[in-house]
Amino acid sequence: MAVLGRTEIEVPRLGLGAMTWGDPKGLARLHPAKTAYGGAESAVEEAQAVSESLAAGVTLIDTAATYSGGAAELRLGELVAGKAVTVASKFPRGFFGFRADKFEEELRGSLTRLGRSKIELYQHHFPGPGTSIPDLMGRMADAVEAGKIGAIGVSNYSAAQMREAHAALAKRNIPLASNQVQYSLLYRRPEVDGVLGVCRELGVTLIAYSPLAMGMLSGKYSGDAKATGLRRLLPNFSRRGREAAAPVVNLLRQIGERHGKTAGQVALRWLIENPVVLPIPGAKNGRQARENAGALGWTLAPDEVEALDRASAAWRK
């Protein structure tokens, strides 16, 4: 267990992403996450993902109001009712035009869909030109003081935006708990754009989404194996992208063989070895949740971490 940022909230070193959960209706069925990854075959499989995760001590589950048009929050709320979990969600429900004065409405919607009176970690999903960060942080601080939020997080914030949010919250004596950004062996930009450095400096947890590079680091898409859905159109999943990633995946396999672990478990462990970072791989079923949880309870040797750093240096840009 670790502490989330400089809050008093204890969290595991690994979370569970619930991006594709739920039963969306209408246009929500075309959400990019659903069309890229697909969803579970049934709610039973999602329930198994929860059970397997909790059994392994993975008690932080992350979702967002926009996932599946709100259906992911609904499903998560149903599955964790009465269970000892740390629920994290993100707002707003839409992608465009959010203003700080809409925050209270967004919070009410998330609380209702989740069926909770408090969200342990509530995160602003995307910064935008129409959103005043100081105003928004003030409103989120009000919600903390009202007992509706346990901790304040952000997502996809730059280093400068993190500093702005942190400074606004400091005036209320409330820490900025986390910044959720993309981070993996095949996407190391937080190391060079200042985000990881500011997380260390300010005591903010970096929550890593897409920690398996959308599945590429699992080793499933080596050779001629191709991804389905929207992923097949992304550069990493082209033949050239798969060939470029092959040395990293092969090294993950080699290291995994020494520890009795899979390539994906080693990739997650590389992130966990950094005390500032908390990866949240997604899982649609119990099998995937068990696989992810295998990243816990062991360590990489320093020379193995260094070897992975060198092998993935090209993605540090």
Which residue numbers are catalytic?
67
Task: Report the residue count for the chain.
Answer: 317
Q: Which amino acid is at 157?
A: Y
Strand partners, 121: 88, 151
CB half-sphere exposure, 73, CA atoms < 13 A: 25
CB 8 within 8 A of CB 186: no
Question: Is 130 within 8 Å of 99 (Cβ atoms)?
Answer: yes
DSSP the chain: -EESTTSS-EE-SS-EE-TT-S---GGGGG-HHHHHH---SSHHHHHHHHHHHHHTT--EEE--TTGGGGHHHHHHHHHHTTS--EEEEEE-SSSS---GGGHHHHHHHHHHHHT-S-EEEEEE----TT--HHHHHHHHHHHHHTTSEEEEEEES--HHHHHHHHHHHHTTT--EEEEEEE-BTTB-GGGTSSHHHHHHHHT-EEEEESTTGGGGGGTTT-TT----GGGGGSGGGSHHHHHHHHHHHHHHHHHHHHHT--HHHHHHHHHHTSTTEEE--B-SSHHHHHHHHTTSS----HHHHHHHHHHTGGG--
